[in-house]
Structure 1
Amino acid sequence: MSRRSLRELPLSYPEVGATRGPLPGDYHHLVRHRTIGTGATTFRAAAEQLMHWDLHRRAGLTVAPTTPSAVPGTRVLLGLGRGPLTIRFGCEVVYVLAEPRRRGFAYGTLEGHPERGEELFALEWRADDTVVLTITAFSRPATWWARAAAPLSRAVQRRITRQYLHAL
């Protein structure tokens, strides 16, 4: 998949923005949290890394975004695996959190992605001074081979989520 064709693909699901809640039915739901540290310095540094795709790179994905930072409309080609076994799939940033104590973004799957759905990566600097990374997602298989390998797909999603949570 080229960057040009990535720009031409439509989103593959109708519930755009639904990671804001409530999560739509008829999907697998995932919500995971991890405290990554405390204080303003931790929050600002983690937000900078998150918004510039470092979380994804550190989790082991290849990342080819259409913009250096996550902004609404950014398209990103992600890769999972190595060599000829790499699976590539596209997503679009559908909204951004840009609040004084909350930063992050959600992206949705594009046609051709093995799953259909949306994922939110949110950092929160809480009143108790802790900085918490939360990942919220809803998804379901979009291809025949993803449906056939659904238990494996869920295991891969859980593994990548754990890697995301420890990447910042």
Structure 2
Amino acid sequence: MRRGTFRDETVDYAAVGATQAPDLMQYPPEKSIPAEESWRIGSGQARFESASESLLSWAPLRGAGLSLADIRPASGSGYAGVAYDADGTPVAPSRREAEQRFDAEGTPYVSAGATVHVTGRLSGYRADAELRVILAVEEPRRTAFALGTVGGSVVSGEELFLIEWRDNDEVWFTVRAFDRPVSTLYRLLPRLIRGRRRQLFRAYLTAVSPLFAP
């Protein structure tokens, strides 16, 4: 099992890790707009492992047409801070030595503490932000990571990507997020945040699950 949580003051919001809260939709961080979707993407161990591999190699973001640049893994040992299991129960902190992996093209896999610059455009919505991996989890039936905004984005907040292999053998993909408007346009028209989030969720799902490919 690998589990890492990274937290420091460089992210531009206070509620670090709030996407793990089971009541996020009812009690989002102040002035933020929450969103959550879950989809069944198959069943069985092979499907779970394949989806987990895609998740940790940045497939949701890449599949959404976003470009990743300047991926910088955290150096040295990682701190596995307070995290939560699938039931929302806090897990005690521990220290671990970071084990960095790379894909066939040499791109670093997702790891706690890594930073990445994301750019692109999706259905008219622009993305240009510095993001930090504030959570990375690999367990026998659960794989997840969360990204927090560091700066430069039209919104401030966090999004969680989660693959679960449930006891009934079904494999589910969940994305949970909260966004606080930063740009003037988004503050005046918060509905744009909801539209942006819908487009991102749809693209993430298509990237992770061949069942939903066009």
TM-score (norm 1): 0.86
Task: Give the number of equivalent residue pairs.
Answer: 158
- Alignment counterpart, residue 66 of structure 1, candidates 38, 60, 72: 72
Aligned to 2:169: 129
Corresponding letter in the other structure for 1:127: D
SS in 2 for 1:132: strand
- Cα distance, 1:50 vs. partner? 0.6
Ranges in structure 2 where 5+ consecutive residues have no aligned partner? 1-8, 74-107, 209-214
Compared with structure 1, are the counterparts of its residues 140 and 122 closer, same or farther at alpha carbon in structure 2 (3 Å cutoff)?
Answer: same
Paired with 2:189 and 2:121, the residues of 1 have a C-alpha distance of 16
Flag structure 1 segments of 5+ consecutive residues without an equivalent.
1-8
Which sits farther off after the overlay, 138-147 or 31-40? Answer: 138-147
TM-score normalized by the length of structure 2 = 0.68
Distance 1:25 1:90 in 2: 20
Q: 1:35 aligns with which of 26, 34, 40?
A: 40
Give the Cα separation in 1 of the matches to 2:126 and 2:170: 36
Contact 2:145/2:160 (CA < 8 Å) preserved in 1?
yes
The aligned residue for residue 13 of structure 1 is 13
Query: Is the 2:37–2:176 contact (alpha carbons within 8 Å) kept by the matching residues of 1?
Result: yes
Q: Structure 1 pair 119/86, CA: closer, same or farther in 2 (3 Å)?
A: closer
Specify the code of the residue in structure 2 equivalent to 1:165.
L
Residue in structure 1 matched with residue 159 of structure 2 by the alignment: 119
**1:153 partner SS:** helix
Percent of paired sites with the same residue: 35
Question: Could you tell me which residue of structure 2 aligns to residue 3 of structure 1?
Answer: none
Q: Which structure dedicates a bigger proportion of its chain to helix?
A: 1
Deviation at 1:86, TM superposition (A): 5.4
Matched with 1:162 is 202
Letter aligned with residue 102 of structure 1: R
RMSD: 1.9
Among 42, 48, 52, the alignment partner of 1:47 is 52
